[in-house]
Amino acid sequence: MRFAAPIDNPIEITTAQYAAILGATPSKGARSPLLWNAAFKAAGIDAVMHPMDTRPEALGAVVAALKADPRYVGGAVAVPHKQAVGAFLDRLEAEAARIGAVNAIYRDGDALVGANTDGAGALSQIEALVGGADALRTRRATLIGLGGAGLAVAAYLAGRTASLTLANRTRATADAASQKLGAIAVDYPLSPEVLEATDLLVNATTIGHPDGPEGAPVAENLLSTLPEDAAVYDVIYQPRPTPLLAAAQALGLATLDGLGMNLDQAVIAFDKAVPGALSAERIREAMRAV
């Protein structure tokens, strides 16, 4: 049976259940179908995750069609729909409502529920990068980019670092997020003064991604103003290393990309969509294997 909603890549649904990732072009580079399909197979569930290329003006109609189809168990939400999709769902988990962005959907009876697993997935990775939760509390963090993923990561860093500074191409967005999270807003591009006072730099923009703007969100000559013990975390993970992380590694800084975050958020989201199908560790093993 063909999925009848207005997506740009026609899909035949042939399984008893299915999941979907909604994005502008999720089929072009999204890892979620690979991860979810491995977990479905490990759980013995007759289901597939389909990438659904959805234009912003069609988002409401696509969500309505998914809600009306009981075979749909949930899935992922990609750029640029993370902040808009909540308006079309029946309710949001408290964390997603606080962040103002949704990256995962799951079915609860006839209702579709929005969740945000980006922040939790990133936090575990950032803690590993800097040496644990206690070490993170000593770090002066600066985060660039306040789209759906950036807002989620910022919300999880707030209160867990010595300080949190937020920067965004649109300054008003940084001001609003900083007021909400008790952080400091600064202009972007970052100044040398901000970088000198940063020992955890987080990129949550798409700069450096194959589908995003070229280059790095911080110029290499400015990156050198970070302290020698600074750590640099990049939410994106294509290419490996990203331009930002390649420059940071050349300076001898500790770095980590977003591949582990992508895995961890998918584990959490899968468990919400098909609760109890597998333990979290078995989901993680199946996803990590691919």
Q: Residue 186: which H helix or E strand, with range?
A: strand 184-186
Residue 25: predicted pLDDT: 86
CB burial of residue 61 (10 Å; 0-12, 13-18, 19+): middle
Residues 177, 265: Cα–Cα separation, whole Å: 22
Burial of residue 159 (CB within 10 Å: 0-12, 13-18, 19+) is: exposed
Phi, psi values for residue 102, rounded to 5° = -125, 130
Q: What is the DSSP letter of 258?
A: T
* Candidate list 28, 82, 180, 272, residue with the active-site label: 82
The whole-angstrom distance between residue 99's C-alpha and the CA centroid of its chain comes to 12
Contact call for residues 145 and 201 (beta carbons, < 8 A): no
pLDDT at 177: 96
pLDDT for 26 equals 87
Q: Quote the pLDDT of residue 28.
A: 78
Q: How many helices (H) and strands (E) in the chain? A: 13, 12
User: For residues 81 and 101, what is the distance between their CA atoms, to the nearest angstrom?
Assistant: 9
Separation between Cα atoms, residue 26 and residue 86, nearest integer Å: 18
- Confirm if 37 and 21 have CB atoms less than 8 A apart: no
- d(Cα 26, Cα 24) in Å, to the nearest integer? 6
For residue 70, what pLDDT is reported? 97
The percent of the chain in helix, strand and coil, each rounded to the nearest 5, is 40, 20, 40
| pLDDT at site 31 | 87
82 assigned to active site: yes
Q: What does pTM read for this prediction?
A: 0.84
- pLDDT tens, N- to C-terminus, the chain (290 residues): 789 889 999 999 999 999 999 999 888 778 899 999 999 999 999 999 999 999 999 999 999 999 999 999 999 999 899 999 999 999 999 889 989 999 999 999 999 999 999 999 999 999 999 999 999 999 999 999 999 899 999 999 999 999 999 999 999 999 999 999 999 999 999 999 999 999 999 999 999 998 889 999 999 999 999 999 999 999 999 999 999 999 999 999 999 999 999 999 999 999 999 999 999 999 999 999 99
Residues 21 and 270: beta-carbon distance below 8 Å: no
Q: Is the dihedral of CA 165, 166, 169, 175 positive or negative?
A: negative
Helices 259-273 and 280-289: crossing angle in degrees, nearest 10, is 130
